[in-house]
Structure 1
Amino acid sequence: MKLYAASVTLILAATAAASPASSPCSRSNFRWVNLPAVGGGAPIQEQGTAATETHIYLLGGIPHDANNSQPAVPSTNTFEAYSFKERTWKSLTPIPKAFTHTNAAAVNGKIYLLGGLTGDGVDKIWHAVGDCFVYDIAKDKWTTLPSMPDGQGRGSSAVGISGNTIYLAGGMERLEVFENGAQTSLDIVTAYDTKSGTWSTLPSLPAPRDHVGGAIIGRRFFVVGGRDHGQPNVRNTTWTLDLDAPSRGWEAHAEMPTARGGLSMGVIGDRYIGTFGGEGNPDPASNGVYNETEVYDVKKDCWFKLPAMPHPRHGTVAASVHGRIYIPGGGILIGAGPVDTFDAFELDL
């Protein structure tokens, strides 16, 4: 290891391909669960995702009919929720501002939106904004919060939650959605205390990342994969920060088998991290999208591969709840190609 300073549910059962004999990692049984289409059939991509025990919430994104041939792709202020009990989607009071690549989290009965990217639809450029809002679920009300500190506004960050605090790692401040357009990746790491309403700065990532996976297990913040200044520049790093001793810096672990940006990532129990799909696949037959399902065993510090996703896609954020990793929407083409697919992944423990 290295230390770096500062709808009707259809259950699909399968058996993983045998892991190499030299690998200490393996898992034989998993399931994909098909769920009701997002928004009753409204495609979504590049949104923020948050989950409570009762609902999954989707915030912002690109228009449901977005495509790569459009002269401009605006951001949206849509806000919808899926009820686990009712198994239905519902549109909620729109976000006060339109966002894509939204940083979102659920804490103590409230949904927090902490910055993202926004575009007015005039051109194919999304800019970072540090605007922050909180939605009170019980009151069905949005409230404006103080903006992120100067220079920290960004979208597409790795997001983690521990107690009352939301952690953001990396992200991007500018995304030019055209050939050879600039894509500015960041290495900054910050934390927002939802009780005090204050921000703090943590040790920067070892290198810039955006469209990156994030999760917290115990008191370790995992940041996996992502990209560094552009869709082709995908990465397979696995880094952790000990939130009880952040001054020790980031630690490197076993690398993800397939370098990917725009991947979905979630946790099962206190041991496994699942990573799914992503963008930047050079295979012409793939439409630029990865179909990989790769799982990290936190205790053994190793990865194992499972068969391909039944519905490969990128550009969505997963949610971990009820022992499942839920994956709403996403894109099936490099760039814009939103779909309404909604499924969940289970791993036998």
Structure 2
Amino acid sequence: MAVPSAHEFHWQSLAQLPTGRVYHTLSEVGGQMYMLGGCDAAGRPCPIACPCLQGDRWINLTPMPTPRAGAAVAVLGKQILVVGGVGEDQNPLKVVEMYNTEEGRWRKRNTLREALMGVSITVKDGRALAVGGMGADLLPRSILQQYDLRKDVWAQLPPMPTPRYDANTHLLGNKLYVAGGRQCKRPVKAFEVYDTETRSWTTLPMMPCKRTYGGVMWDTAGKLCLLGGLRQGGGHQSSKFTKNVNIFDTNQGAWLKSEETVAMKTKRADFAAAFLRGRMIVAGGLGHEPSALDTVEAFHPQKKKWERLAPMTFPRCSVSSIVIRDRLLVVGGVNQVQPGLMDAALLKAH
């Protein structure tokens, strides 16, 4: 399949957000984007409406009953399940709520057994699988739990070998992959997979390096791609920005050798990353500059090189992003001027 050339990608500014936002979660139902929770410029979870982007305007919907930031979100049919996160008192939450996009209303659902933030969530066969998290005692959890919408029940499944929060999860067939994450702010290299049929965990080859705030994405061929971030040194060494790329091939069950991967052009962390039209895209973030980055680059799989794309309108980091209908939407975030950006932008290729 031919991929778009670099000059075919361009940015389009969307309507401004009602308020600046960071640490929000984006979700898509029926081609429309919903924004859930997040913090304002002062770092407080937003007790405001859940906006929906329709065309080029934001529609304020019914406010989420519990203000929160960093929530885990899963789409179950026409409903959006919102799990855990951080509340107004800066502590983890066990509250679970669901928004019905057709009825336009919220319902309280059965809570988690304990308050958790940094939960990772995915959906299989109409049920949500929630992995890990950090409790009120600031310790990581190894818990795996499954939510049944019809019964409104959370069931405990076999726990994963490595407790962690903020892990990256991905479902391939009957296997749930869990990569990286953190333990008490320290990054972990653990990489494990849960087989939903045998209900058992398998430990995979560890991630090549400890890194935080990197890009994590899965391609359509079942490859896990880790990009950039802050590499963590041993002992008292400080963190360093990297442009390193690591790729795990699930078919081979191994990490590709360094000579089989191509490093990004720019060292960066805390950026937007996505697959778009067959190309890996990275946008914005922080690097060896005094302010946030506006630069964007994309990997060309046939040429095997990274190419510059048009820069974003505003430099930013800590954004939330989502791909809907072959378009990358980048929403909110932080730059030096505005702690909570009110801007939203869309990247597409013609």
**Number of equivalent positions:** 293
Aligned partner of 2:169 in structure 1 is: 159
CA gap of 1:321–1:135, structure 2 versus 1, over 3 A, is farther
Q: Provide the identity percentage.
A: 20
Aligned partner of 1:127 in structure 2 is: 139
Distance 2:153 2:343 in 1: 26
1:107-118 equivalences in 2 (<5 Å): 107-118=124-135
Q: Is the 8 A contact 2:6 2:309 kept in 1?
A: no
RMSD: 3.8
Distance 2:298 2:222 in 1: 20
Any idea what SS the aligned residue of 1:226 has?
Answer: strand
1:245 deviates by 0.5
Matched, 1:263 2:244: no
Q: Decide which structure has the larger Cα Rg and report it.
A: 2
Aligned partner of 1:275 in structure 2 is: 282
The normalised TM-score by structure 1 is 0.67
CA gap of 1:305–1:348, structure 2 versus 1, over 3 A, is closer
Aligned partner of 1:6 in structure 2 is: none
Q: Is the 8 A contact 1:160 1:215 kept in 2?
A: no
1:191 deviates by 1.2
1:198 deviates by 1.6
1:244 deviates by 0.7
Q: Is the 8 A contact 2:241 2:288 kept in 1?
A: no
Distance 1:340 1:52 in 2: 29
CA gap of 1:90–1:189, structure 2 versus 1, over 3 A, is same
Aligned partner of 1:98 in structure 2 is: 115
CA gap of 1:172–1:321, structure 2 versus 1, over 3 A, is same
Q: Residue type matched to 1:161 in 2?
A: L
Aligned partner of 2:10 in structure 1 is: 29
Q: Is the 8 A contact 1:37 1:341 kept in 2?
A: no
1:97-246 equivalences in 2 (<5 Å): 97-120=114-137, 126-149=138-161, 152-175=162-185, 184-217=186-219, 218-229=221-232, 233-246=240-253
The normalised TM-score by structure 2 is 0.67
Distance 1:82 1:276 in 2: 30
Distance 2:12 2:187 in 1: 34
Matched, 1:48 2:62: no
1:159 deviates by 2.9
1:173 deviates by 1.0
CA gap of 1:197–1:243, structure 2 versus 1, over 3 A, is same
Q: Out of 37-46 and 260-269, give the one that drifted further.
A: 37-46
Any idea what SS the aligned residue of 1:144 has?
Answer: strand
Please list every run of 5 or more consecutive structure 2 residues that lacks an aligned counterpart in the other structure: 16-32, 38-48, 51-63
Aligned partner of 1:296 in structure 2 is: 299
* Higher-RCO chain (CA-CA 8 Å, sequence separation at least 6): 1
1:81 deviates by 5.6
